[in-house]
Structure 1
Amino acid sequence: MGLQSSISSNHCVIKLDQDRLALTREFDILVLPGVSMLTLGGFLEPLRIVNALTHREAFRWRVLSLEDDTFGCSNGFHIDEDVLLGTEGCQRCSLVVGGELTSSTERQLVINWIRRRKRFGNGIGYIGPCARLFAEAGVLVSEQFVVSQSEKSAFSECYSHLLPHEGLFCRERDVLSCVDGTAALDFAASFIEQDMGRSLALAVLQQCGQSKLRAGSDQPQNVAGDLHESRHKALKTAIRLMSEHIENPLSMEMVAKKAHISRRQMERLFKIHTALTPSKYYQHMRLHHAKSLLRQTDMRVLDIALACGFSNVSTMKVAYRREFGQGFAS
């Protein structure tokens, strides 16, 4: 065992090997327009805390942007960049933190950057809704990866041959991946644990308000009020069946039969737990799937209608306007 040093966090003494204290891990972080500050801060803040506790740069990062000077977050906040994309080297681990790219030119620029970093860099990965960019870049083949909830619908339609892993993050293969939100904390903690030890990683998470280390295979926390979750087993089965048959909707009788309950029992469960009838809930699910595809893909509207279980565009348009209070461009 090498020489050890001690640091204090929340009145606890944590011993670290001197060899570990000599290490520095470096990241280049490409931030896309409209990034979530919760996701970006969730990854960077634990690394900052480690540097503060150890009084050295155990972790070093540069923020890259497509825009000159500053970039905008989803809440309207603007942050200064460190480096403009294309002017940096390739020596660091590269991470893309998801937002939305509306320009095809910017999209191609990022895809080319991903390919270049995959080939010549020191590791590549993403945090948040970037799986489609990496799939389009052709770097997810033979990889384990996760997909954020916000882009699952679009990803499954566009890349049905690629099967995502269910969990918070993946670090097992060449391409690193992490879903958005608080999972970024756990992703950062996995690097801290690897480089500095489990005790320090846990202490840092506790300073961020999280009581335990979550593994990459753990499931994302449910959002309060999420209609897709319920403690009732039969209801969960019915909802799962609906989600698995978006394109070719099942009859309510078939859903009840496969969930091993009567149609009347199913009606009552949905009313109690979702305040909707089963058929209304099913249509709600299909329309939200359609909304994701309209926003996140270049699919034809007719193809989206068929993929969401509607026989034609007109039928989907009427239901869409009734659900969201506005239509969509054909």
Structure 2
Amino acid sequence: MSNTATPSPVPPRASASRPTASTGARPGPAPDDKPRRFVFLLLDRFSMLSFASAVECLRIANRMSDRTLYQWHLIGEGGQEVSCSAGTTFKLDDDLVELTRDDTIMVCGGIDVQSATSKKVLAWLRREARKGIGVGGLCTAAHALAMAGLLDGKRATIHWENQDSFAEAFDEVDLTKSVFVIDGNRMTTAGGTSSIDLMLKLIADDHGEDLANAVADQLIYSSIRTDQDTQRLSVPTRIGVRHPKLSQVIQIMETNIEEPISPSILARDVGMSTRQLERLFRRYLNRSPKRYYMELRLQKARNLLMQTDMSVINVALACGFASPSHFSKCYRAHYDTTPYRERGTRGTRLSV
């Protein structure tokens, strides 16, 4: 994949808000050193958006600086070609070759990352990581890094849709809801355009914020996020209602799925009566607090059924259901299928 472009420097804009201190990323090359090389490991059905966002940042950084600051290399198992989640096929530059310590690996994940992460890929990741190479995971690829044991004891993030299954599978990883995380020489992103935020941070660390801001301007990326930003919209934005007590109750519900809290206690915790809470949910969400809570629990159950190998009874327990029969009854009423039949569709959902 070519990484050349006609230079066209543009004056950088005023500095945007972004932390200047490094959070542990390996320093990039000094201006007179050789280019920093990113090796993108493309897993089958990877997210094209996450991959393209990362590469474009590097390409534009080269163009804006009128120098080759960055190079990139595409690899994958077999070394021939790989398809992204949209079905487009990419020609690879290499197989799982041996790298140098100065390289930076970026694993690109997407749909059904568990199946796409083969034993050969895991062995390669462990071998290269032992050299001290920086390793990143874009979109769902944090799952591949965790499978290889590269995130043990580390902070990490993954797309919000995969958070539940990841947390169940890898309790040794400190999972966050950040847009991206850099912990030592391990990097993870939440998917989508969060690759841009990570790469802008690395470019700023390597060559200064002026260049990173110039790259953001070229991307028409006006709101640069940091590792302190969370990936999901706020509760009021998601539900389309700006009522502080309603938002507070929903946040409590979302963080207490395994052991649901009764409406009376929820109401007490936000300084309301149970009847007032009922009216609030009916007015703004057209359902009772109990119904809304049930839908949250069933949504998590569906994620676990489709993204993990957990037994149905363990999924039920993880989502606050006392018995498989009650879980199955509620699941069928909401999704018009049983948890067991849902398992037949596992791995078909898309990641961004």
Deviations 1:191-244 (A, max 9, x none): 211222211111111221211432222222528996468542212221122122
Indicate if the aligned counterparts of 1:168 and 1:215 stay in contact, CA closer than 8 A. yes
1:166-185 equivalence runs, <5 A: 166-185=177-196
Q: Which residue of 2 aligns with 1:89?
A: 99
Q: Which residue among 264, 286, 290 is the counterpart of 1:253?
A: 264
> What is the CA–CA distance in structure 1 between the aligned matches of 2:266 and 2:72, rounded to whole Å?
50
Q: Is 1:304 aligned to residue 305 of structure 2?
A: no
SS, match of residue 170 in structure 1: strand
Deviations 1:72-100 (A, max 9, x none): 2222222222222x234344111112223
Residue 264 of structure 1 aligns with an amino acid whose one-letter code is: R
Q: Which residue of 1 aligns with 2:9?
A: 8
1:42-57 equivalence runs, <5 A: 42-57=53-68
Indicate if the aligned counterparts of 1:144 and 1:170 stay in contact, CA closer than 8 A. yes
Indicate if the aligned counterparts of 1:168 and 1:217 stay in contact, CA closer than 8 A. yes
Residue 73 of structure 2 aligns with an amino acid whose one-letter code is: R
Q: Which residue of 1 aligns with 2:230?
A: 219
> What is the CA–CA distance in structure 2 between the aligned matches of 1:293 and 1:115, rounded to whole Å?
27
Indicate if the aligned counterparts of 1:66 and 1:106 stay in contact, CA closer than 8 A. no
> What is the CA–CA distance in structure 2 between the aligned matches of 1:36 and 1:103, rounded to whole Å?
14
How far did 1:19 drift?
5.5
> What is the CA–CA distance in structure 2 between the aligned matches of 1:229 and 1:173, rounded to whole Å?
38
SS, match of residue 272 in structure 2: coil
Residue 89 of structure 1 aligns with an amino acid whose one-letter code is: L
Indicate if the aligned counterparts of 1:229 and 1:236 stay in contact, CA closer than 8 A. no
Aligned residues: 321
> What is the CA–CA distance in structure 2 between the aligned matches of 1:187 and 1:230, rounded to whole Å?
31
1:210-289 equivalence runs, <5 A: 210-220=221-231, 222=233, 227=238, 231-289=242-300
SS, match of residue 235 in structure 1: helix
TM-score, L = length of structure 2:
0.80
1:122-201 equivalence runs, <5 A: 122-201=133-212
Indicate if the aligned counterparts of 1:21 and 1:196 stay in contact, CA closer than 8 A. no
Residue 99 of structure 2 aligns with an amino acid whose one-letter code is: G
> What is the CA–CA distance in structure 1 between the aligned matches of 2:247 and 2:142, rounded to whole Å?
27
Q: Which residue among 76, 83, 90 is the counterpart of 1:65?
A: 76
Q: Is 1:41 aligned to residue 52 of structure 2?
A: yes
Percentage identity across paired residues of the two chains: 29
Deviation larger for 307-316 or 184-193: 307-316
Q: 1:109 to 1:255 in 2, by over 3 A?
A: farther
Indicate if the aligned counterparts of 1:167 and 1:217 stay in contact, CA closer than 8 A. yes
How far did 1:173 drift?
1.2
- For structure 1, the residue ranges without an aligned partner over 5 or more in a row are 1-5
> What is the CA–CA distance in structure 2 between the aligned matches of 1:172 and 1:57, rounded to whole Å?
27
Deviation larger for 286-295 or 122-131: 122-131
Deviation larger for 162-171 or 27-36: 162-171
Indicate if the aligned counterparts of 1:206 and 1:212 stay in contact, CA closer than 8 A. no
- For structure 2, the residue ranges without an aligned partner over 5 or more in a row are 1-6, 16-28, 342-352
How far did 1:189 drift?
0.5
SS, match of residue 155 in structure 2: coil
Q: 1:239 to 1:229 in 2, by over 3 A?
A: farther
Indicate if the aligned counterparts of 2:159 and 2:190 stay in contact, CA closer than 8 A. yes
SS, match of residue 28 in structure 1: strand
Taking only aligned residues, the RMSD between alpha carbons, in angstroms, comes to 3.0
> What is the CA–CA distance in structure 2 between the aligned matches of 1:241 and 1:253, rounded to whole Å?
13
How far did 1:176 drift?
1.5
How far did 1:120 drift?
1.8
Residue 10 of structure 2 aligns with an amino acid whose one-letter code is: S
Deviations 1:159-186 (A, max 9, x none): 3343223422222413122211111111
How far did 1:61 drift?
1.0
SS, match of residue 20 in structure 1: coil
SS, match of residue 171 in structure 1: strand
